[in-house]
Amino acid sequence: MDSDDPRRVAAITAAAARLRVDSAATVAIAALERAGIPSLVLKGPSIARWLFAPEDARAYADCDLLIPSDRFESAVAALAAIGFEPEYEESSMPSWWREHALTLIRREHRAIVDLHRNLPGVHADDQLLWATLSASTESITLGASSVRTLSEPGRLMHLALHAAQHGGSHRDLEVLRRALAQVDEAVWRRAAELARQVDATAAFTQGLIMVPAGQELASKLGLGPPLDMDVELRATGAVEALTVARLLAAGGISARAALIRHKLFPPATFLRAWSPLARRGRLGLVLAYLYRPIWVLRRTPRALRGWSDARKRLKNRDDARNRVDADSH
């Protein structure tokens, strides 16, 4: 094969990228093991080796690890000790702002680790998610190390959740289509049951129905229409409206005021991660704080429209489901 063949070049480039990420993963996992912290590899090598051939040039940019949430701070400290810096200091953020994962970066090696305490679309608490997924795992080899990853049903569940989280990006849907074509329905049924156990059925269903084969499978599995506002907003790309949904769900005036205050004036550590300007010394930080309310207010009308449109879609789905239920009785 000609060395200038684009497919060969793409395959070599992807292989090099995988090796770099896998190297960072083994270093991070080893650091966690020394600290007595278990971890599960998410996506990345567990998906590339499962659904893709080497010539498919499947690359991945970072390492995703799920860990027990009660060891999260210790895990961040263990990775910081070997040069992985958190994107921002979580301790300065209110608990409701903390995402399912925290990004840590080892800049000199261009290595990124996303440390997960939970997965988007899962409503079960962090401890239940860890207990459920860690109860059945598989091993894969990274470098000279054997590491744990999700079981096949766990990987399927995560693929569907990931597609729903990112609004059905082309890359996510490609993986989902492959999984639907290659994996038996019986395994998908176990994935659906796993989603039920961790209260992630809405996101699991939303991910499936983004492709025709998934719609057919959802019907076979008896999965009803997803009626979750958070899932709907993420799946339709209306992530700015998540703040509107959280504001309306907040209990009491003081809770809503705190949410608005943190949205307009977040801690400096978050602002530096959010804005390059804020990383340019004290003056840059001040200017970023002045700009932040303007940025939020400019996006507020679109966020309100996104929330309103999502509410209408969910109501229509709920009404349709109720009509079907009524007709069946």
pLDDT digits (tens, 9 = 90+) for 306-319: 999 999 999 999 99
pLDDT of residue 134: 97
User: Does 222 share its domain with 258?
Assistant: no
Tokens read off for 194: 């796993």
Amino acid at 114: D
Q: Give all strands (DSSP E) within 15-98, no chain letters.
A: 40-42, 63-66, 85-86
Which residue among 213, 235, 257 closes a domain?
235
CB 104 within 8 A of CB 113: yes
**Residues in the chain, total:** 329
User: Does 112 share its domain with 231?
Assistant: yes
pLDDT category of residue 329 using cuts at 50, 70 and 90:
low
pLDDT of residue 143: 80
In tens, the pLDDT along 56-103 reads 767 777 889 999 999 999 999 999 999 999 988 887 777 766 778 999
pLDDT category of residue 3 using cuts at 50, 70 and 90:
low
Which residue among 235, 260, 287 closes a domain?
235
Which residue among 235, 253, 272 closes a domain?
235
Q: Which domain holds residue 304?
A: 239-327
User: Does 229 share its domain with 243?
Assistant: no
Angle, alpha carbons 220-226-231 (nearest 5°): 130
In tens, the pLDDT along 150-168 reads 999 999 999 999 999 988 7
What's the CATH code of the domain at 113? 3.30.460.40
d(CA 122, CA 100): 9
pLDDT of residue 49: 87
Sign of CA dihedral 262, 268, 273, 278: positive
Q: Is residue 69 a part of any domain in this protein? A: yes
Q: Are strands 101-106 and 40-42 parallel, antiparallel or unpaired?
A: unpaired
Query: Which percentage of the chain shows pLDDT scores above 70?
Result: 94
Flag whether pLDDT at 255 surpasses 60.
yes
User: 78-87, 162-171, 269-278, 288-297: lowest mean pLDDT where?
Assistant: 162-171
User: Does 200 share its domain with 245?
Assistant: no
User: Does 230 share its domain with 248?
Assistant: no
Provide the mean pLDDT of the chain: 90
In tens, the pLDDT along 244-253 reads 999 998 888 9
User: Does 262 share its domain with 207?
Assistant: no
d(CA 49, CA 303): 39
User: Does 157 share its domain with 216?
Assistant: yes
Q: Which residue has the higher pLDDT, 284 or 250?
A: 284
pLDDT of residue 23: 86
pLDDT category of residue 296 using cuts at 50, 70 and 90:
very high
Residues in CB range of 327: below 8 A, 6 or more apart: none
Measuring CA to CA, which residue among 27, 71, 64 is closest to residue 46? 64
Write out the H or E segment, with its range, that includes residue 285: helix 281-327
Q: Model pTM?
A: 0.90
Q: What's the domain count of the chain?
A: 2
User: Does 259 share its domain with 171?
Assistant: no
Residues in CB range of 156: below 8 A, 6 or more apart: 179, 183, 187, 188, 191
d(CA 210, CA 206): 7
User: Does 117 share its domain with 264?
Assistant: no
d(CA 113, CA 37): 15
User: Does 183 share its domain with 56?
Assistant: yes
pLDDT of residue 1: 45
Question: What is the b/e burial string over 202-221, where b = at least 16 CB atoms within 10 angstroms of the residue's CB?
Answer: bbbbbbbbbbeebeebbeeb
pLDDT category of residue 226 using cuts at 50, 70 and 90:
very high
User: Does 222 share its domain with 256?
Assistant: no
Q: Is residue 305 a part of any domain in this protein? A: yes
